[in-house]
Structure 1
């Protein structure tokens, strides 16, 4: 069973994941509103992935016999300076989520909750991928600079991203 400290921290992370989804949904809307339909797609897929993360926490907390405590989700920004600004904010946000996951993992170990520690390993690995993807896109955007043709080419590349839900019968689901 969760300790009170771990229960509180896991519920907080669930709410952090909801904010992540909310942030990426806002970014998707903004990108679409400025004609970057590919970027809008990329952020919408990111939103879908974050909702999966939310539900992973939801299901795991419930599986431990604990009631999920949903908190208020802050409003994300709705306007951005550029696509580069959006991805720089995305990377900064994901670095914060990584720190939070790492803190949770440390807490699970200190509380000797091995089931939670194992559950969190998927997120530890996921965060490495999240940050790498953001850095790759930021690098491309910096290379593109003010080149409109390059931006349109990247937008086409971002449009190819597809949401693939994890299999329901695995630990990653």
Structure 2
């Protein structure tokens, strides 16, 4: 992702303070997702399921890119970045399926927060922000579908270790194919 920052933001229409706060909170959610996916990647790598580990490392990188996209938007609009503490995600999961379920649940939470922010931008007449957020809404739809797909596969695999190893290889292929 290329970043470009305006030299002078004096002519840019200022965002309302509550939207600035909401965007900073959204950026924090993306950073938490990045951190969460690193934690889940370590869960898989520590269990020699490195295909799933690669998959979640890639997901983590994407979440960081989502955060940077928000950061760039704040800078373009002449709005301040307000760092917020990042919660420590859980590290102990019962199973690979539990990892994907936790990811899916968090993606749903992020999607809802984007919907709320989109509605607020529309209600406030912030059409530029509304247009910017449409990319995130599409991205969230894809993220949720991807997590549901893996949940379905892992649910079918149950406790079959051969099926789990096969899915691990498929996860590696998926992570490498999208690079």
| Cα-to-partner distance string for 1:52-78 (whole Å, 9 max, x where unaligned) | 000000000110001100100010111
In the aligned structure 2, how far is the partner of 1:17 from the partner of 1:134?
Answer: 16
Tell me by how many angstroms 1:80 deviates.
0.7
Aligned with 1:6 (options 5, 19, 25): 19
Q: Which runs of 5+ in 1 are unaligned?
A: 166-173
1:34-64 Cα distance to aligned partner (Å, 9 max, x none): 1110010010000000010000000001100
Equivalence for 1:70:
83
Verify: 1:162 aligned to 2:173, yes or no.
Answer: no
Q: Find 2:36's aligned residue among 23, 32, 48.
A: 23
Structure 1 ranges of 4+ moved more than 2 A: 162-165
Give the alignment partner of residue 101 of structure 1, picking from 91, 114, 121.
114
The 2-side partners of 1:22 and 1:107 are apart by: 27
Distance 2:58 2:177 in 1: 5
When Rg is computed on C-alpha atoms for both structures, the one with the higher figure is 2
CA–CA distance in structure 2, aligned partners of residues 109 and 35 of structure 1:
47
User: What is the CA distance between 1:162 and its match in structure 2?
Assistant: 2.9
Rate the CA distance shift 1:135–1:123 in 2: closer, same or farther, 3 A.
same
Q: Distance in 2 between matches of 1:64 and 1:158?
A: 38
Kept in 1: contact 2:20–2:80 (CA 8 A):
no
SS in structure 2 opposite 1:2?
coil
Give the number of equivalent residue pairs.
Answer: 165
* TM score, norm. by length of structure 1: 0.93
Cα RMSD for the two superposed structures: 1.1
Determine helix, strand or coil for the equivalent of 2:88.
Answer: coil
Label 1:44 to 1:163 Cα distance change in 2 as closer, same or farther (>3 A). Answer: farther
Gapped regions of structure 2 (runs ≥ 5): 1-13
Counterpart contact for 1:108–1:116, Cα < 8 Å: yes
Per the alignment, residue 11 of structure 2 pairs with none
